[in-house]
Structure 1
Amino acid sequence: MSALDRIGQVGAWLGPVRLASAATMREAASTVEALGYGSFWVSDTPTTRDPFSASAVVLAATSSLVVGTGIANVWGRDAAAMNGASQALAEAYPSRFVLGLGVSHSPDVARRGHAYVSPVAKMRSYLDELDASPYDPPAPAVAAPRMLAALGPRMLELSRDRTAGALPYLTTPEHTKLARDLLGPGSALIPEQTLVLESSPSAAREAGREFLTHYLAMPNYQNNLLRMGFTYEDLSGGGSDRLVDALVAWRSVETVAERIRDHLAAGADHVALQPLPRPGDPLGLEQLRLLAPLLVG
């Protein structure tokens, strides 16, 4: 059984945990598992933990939680290193690890000392190298599924043709529907959904803009949002109300749960929930606790 066969419909993508201590990460993962969420996604940035080290911490702290890299940057390690790390985790923790791969963004790639090139061409050649990488220790009984961070049609097609599926980030249920139509029925589709349980429009949108400002400066996200019908005016100033409301689910637990169900109805197999930090809830675990009765089970 593959890890993708056992993760259920909802998981957790805790952005702030990348800056927390290992002890806090272990505690957060245990909480996510106890609440009944099926997955825990680990990020990769130039200044935080290696995603495979972080995945090992989470896997060791839990007993059934599926852990995925969201995403492992292909510019951060060569294919042999990526393959070795992925194979090792998949063998040590059977059917519990998903290898999410991505090309990242030109500013982050530049921080690693590389020149950003055509994302699809880079990923295609990297997958070729990954397929050709030898691995001498015992292989996992079931290989770790590979998935791609994919937004546009060409990367979605590559994820369909060469991997288990796609991991869209910062999207809407409308994008999920388009992605499912392009992927067809045989590929896994796991979008991320940002959320904040906040009933005040001004407070919710302030939290949303604080989160979105960094991403809205990235060409990959800009291009995808423009394809989705938003305008450059929507993208300015941290995002228009229309854009923030489309990308960040807020208000009550019922309203946020409905957004998750919209993704599932549009063709998502699983949705990774990313709660924004709130006073007294720095990792978003309390928000996940409140949502669990409506989404888990």
Structure 2
Amino acid sequence: MSDATRGDLGIGLPGETPAATVERVAALAEELGFASFWLNDTPRGDSLAGLRAAADSTRRIRLASGVIPIDRRSAAQIIGDVRDLDLPEGRLVVGIGSGGLARPLAAVAEAADALQSALEAGIVIGALGPRMRRLGATGSDGVLLNWLTAPIAAETADEIHRAAGDAGRDGRAILYLRTAIEPDAREALAQQAALYGSIPSYAKNFAALGISALDAAIGPDDDVSGRLGEYLTSVDEVVLRVITADASERSYLDFVKRAADLARDGG
């Protein structure tokens, strides 16, 4: 991306966030001008069900699922859930990933095709390696990236844009960015970094890139607005995955307010 181009900014919460909190945080994110609201999909948190609550309290902001592993929920099940929940497809983004599948590329490609044929929603593919990134660029609306520094994210976004352009697609590069603003969230961020550093696929990726997980996050000891500004000129969209000390509604709302101010300062 050109240094003069500023990407969109979104807010991301865990999938197990209570519906009432999702409603209030999504509404505030929309009010403060964020482009998107994301929910992780986890075994304990159904992102699509959570987005129903966000849809009830918003009118314009994009609503996105994060990565739904297709070994846990098939394309047919996702399509059925989107329709049963009456989610607003015109502003919905569904992220999918391979999960633990042995032959991931073919399965993800088939799922992406099925979803794009059945839904008006945007479809993005979560990717670590180059082959899955290329699939996301050429076979969906974009690639959902995770745990990258701003310079590496910029290089990766250029790769995605080139592949997408060759395929006649837009190929958005979207980055999940774990972010802790308040000092009391420092430990929670360290725990997230340690968790992902212990996952073999991520550990291998960190080693190959020569970075640690904490290098690819924003913490309270950083120049938050400055680093956020770097990320926003590196990819098409940055999703601030909210990290707070107590994961409470109050702390999430405070984070969104602080992040809006910091984004203006870093712009």
Q: Percent identity?
A: 26
> Displacement, 1:281?
5.7
Correspondence for 1:249? 218
Residues 51 and 87, structure 2, Cα contact 8 Å, conserved in 1: no
Q: Distance in 2 between matches of 1:280 and 1:194?
A: 14
Correspondence for 1:189? 173
1:1-297 alignment runs, 5 A limit: 9-15=8-14, 18-48=15-45, 50-86=46-82, 93=88, 95-104=90-99, 106=100, 116-130=101-115, 143-184=120-161, 186-198=170-182, 206-230=187-211, 243-251=212-220, 255-266=223-234, 268-278=235-245, 283-295=251-263
> Displacement, 1:63?
1.4
Three-state SS of the structure 2 residue aligned to 1:126 is helix
Which residue identity is paired with 1:101?
I
Q: Could you tell me the TM-score, scaled by structure 2's length?
A: 0.82
Residues 38 and 66, structure 1, Cα contact 8 Å, conserved in 2: yes
Q: Could you tell me the TM-score, scaled by structure 1's length?
A: 0.74
Per-residue CA distance 1:7-40 (angstroms, 9 max, x = gap): x71010123xx33322222122212222221111
Which residue identity is paired with 1:121?
A
Name structure 2 gaps, 5 residues minimum: 1-6, 163-169
> Displacement, 1:223?
2.2
Which residue identity is paired with 1:144?
A
Q: Distance in 2 between matches of 1:227 and 1:154?
A: 16
Residues 25 and 252, structure 2, Cα contact 8 Å, conserved in 1: no
Alignment: residue pair count: 251
Three-state SS of the structure 2 residue aligned to 1:191 is strand
Residues 75 and 103, structure 1, Cα contact 8 Å, conserved in 2: yes
Which residue identity is paired with 1:155?
M
Name structure 1 gaps, 5 residues minimum: 1-7, 107-115, 231-242
Residues 29 and 62, structure 1, Cα contact 8 Å, conserved in 2: yes
Which residue identity is paired with 1:62?
T
Three-state SS of the structure 2 residue aligned to 1:167 is strand
Q: Distance in 2 between matches of 1:92 and 1:207?
A: 32
Q: Distance in 2 between matches of 1:164 and 1:280?
A: 31
Which residue identity is paired with 2:220?
R
> Displacement, 1:250?
2.1
Residues 147 and 177, structure 2, Cα contact 8 Å, conserved in 1: yes
Question: 1:279 and 1:159, CA in 2 relative to 1: closer, same or farther beyond 3 A?
Answer: closer
Correspondence for 1:4? none
Correspondence for 1:111? none
Which residue identity is paired with 1:285?
L
Residues 193 and 260, structure 1, Cα contact 8 Å, conserved in 2: no
Residues 86 and 144, structure 1, Cα contact 8 Å, conserved in 2: no
